[in-house]
Amino acid sequence: MIEAVGLSKSYDTGPSRVDALCGVSFRIERGEYVAIMGPSGSGKSTLMNLIGLLDSPTAGTYRLDGQSVEDFSDDRLAELRCRRIGFVFQSFHLLPRFSAAKNVELPLAYMGLPRGERRARAVAALASVELGARVDHRPNELSGGERQRVAIARSLVNRPDLLLADEPTGNLDSRSGEEICRLFGRLNRELGVTVVLVTHDRGVAEHTRRILHIRDGALVRDEPLGAPPEGTVVVLPPPPPAPPPLPAGGCVT
Ligand SMILES: Nc1ncnc2c1ncn2[C@@H]1O[C@H](COP(=O)(O)OP(=O)(O)OP(=O)(O)O)[C@@H](O)[C@H]1O
Ligand SMILES: [Mg+2]
């Protein structure tokens, strides 16, 4: 699904240059649950931004399903981000004035779905993260773990096949963090979503099936892990129908 060959990323900041990634190569197959682990400043977010098509490499090739993404137009990249990739961030990125359901509906607003169907899909996505009883709560009426679950529901509502999470447990206490890790595992097993998460925490990484260790912009170890524990079943509606062409500038996820 994902193939990185000699991926490098340098940032030019005036007089100096930062080599954030230096020739990283790996493959991630469809259906994997993978952690990218490394110390602060090692290039994890830089790599996630490349995987998520939010940035482009300065050297090397990134192929998604066998196609080099440098061949894609900006519109095609925006469409792929919208339809195929879900993003989850450390600080949740929820809109404070919107209810949980409204926040989850946001990615669907760009797909031209009728209002009732948007709401139904948002409620189903919230139920899949066990927040069926919180759909009309605003973010400030939810715990940290619940907020992150709303963000995960939002990332899933388009039924992407790739979920990218950058330090998703970084703002949570250890118990909520555990729940989020288990939830990713369940979504991975039961919906078949490929999950890639970034963490500097070994305990978080051990919930996945494989750890890519990054140090100073280089991949230093590719560590397979054992099988995860079983969980309960997740039910979500199928992906929405093909949307009309995107407006210029892409969409918010
Ligand atoms: N936009 C940018 N401009 C210049 N330098 C940058 C930029 N983004 C990141 N860097 C630098 O690139 C290196 C890697 O940064 P990155 O954010 O990928 O690290 P990280 O592993 O995600 O760290 P953390 O665990 O602290 O989030 C760092 O040295 C950082 O200062
Ligand atoms: Mg980071």
Each residue of 131-167: pLDDT tens digit? 999 999 999 999 999 999 999 999 999 999 999 999 9
pLDDT digits (tens, 9 = 90+) for 7-23: 999 999 888 899 999 99
* Three-state SS annotation for 32-86: CEEEEECCCCCCHHHHHHHHCCCCCCCEEEEEECCEEHHHCCHHHHHHHHHHHEE
pLDDT digits (tens, 9 = 90+) for 58-93: 999 999 999 899 889 999 999 889 889 999 999 999
What is the residue range of 49's domain? Answer: 29-53+81-224
Query: Is position 156 within any domain?
Result: yes
Domain count, the chain: 1
Query: Is position 149 within any domain?
Result: yes
- Phi, psi angles (nearest 5°) of residue 212: -95, 115
Query: Is position 210 within any domain?
Result: yes
The first and second tokens of residue 85, run together, are 């990739």
Query: Is position 178 within any domain?
Result: yes
Q: Domain containing 200 — which CATH number?
A: 3.40.50.300
Average pLDDT over every residue of 210-220: 97
Query: Is position 12 within any domain?
Result: no
Query: Is position 71 within any domain?
Result: no
d(Cα 43, Cα 165) in Å, to the nearest integer?
A: 15
Q: Which of 202, 222, 224 is nearest to 213 (CA)?
A: 222
Nearest residue (by CA) to ligand 1, atom 5, is 11
Residue 207 pLDDT = 93
Which of 10, 12, 13, 18 to mutate to test ligand 1, by most ligand atoms within 8 A of the CB atom? 18
Query: Is position 234 within any domain?
Result: no
Q: Over 90: is that where the pLDDT of 48 sits?
A: yes
Is the C-beta atom of 43 inside 6 A of ligand 1?
yes
Is the C-beta atom of 41 inside 6 A of ligand 1?
yes
Query: Is position 167 within any domain?
Result: yes
Q: Over 70: is that where the pLDDT of 230 sits?
A: no
Cα(21) to ligand 1 centroid in Å equals: 9
**Quick one: pLDDT band at residue 253, thresholds 50, 70, 90?**
very low
d(Cα 191, Cα 47) in Å, to the nearest integer?
A: 25
The one-letter amino acid code at 35 reads A
DSSP state of 173: -
Q: What's the predicted TM-score (pTM) here?
A: 0.88
Residue 250 pLDDT = 45
Q: Which residues pair with 21 in a beta bridge?
A: 9
Q: Over 80: is that where the pLDDT of 242 sits?
A: no
- Separation of CA 206 from chain center: 18
Say what percent of the chain tops pLDDT 90. Answer: 79
d(Cα 213, Cα 52) in Å, to the nearest integer?
A: 19
Q: Over 60: is that where the pLDDT of 249 sits?
A: no
- Phi, psi angles (nearest 5°) of residue 117: -75, -35
Say what percent of the chain tops pLDDT 70. Answer: 91
Residue 244 pLDDT = 58
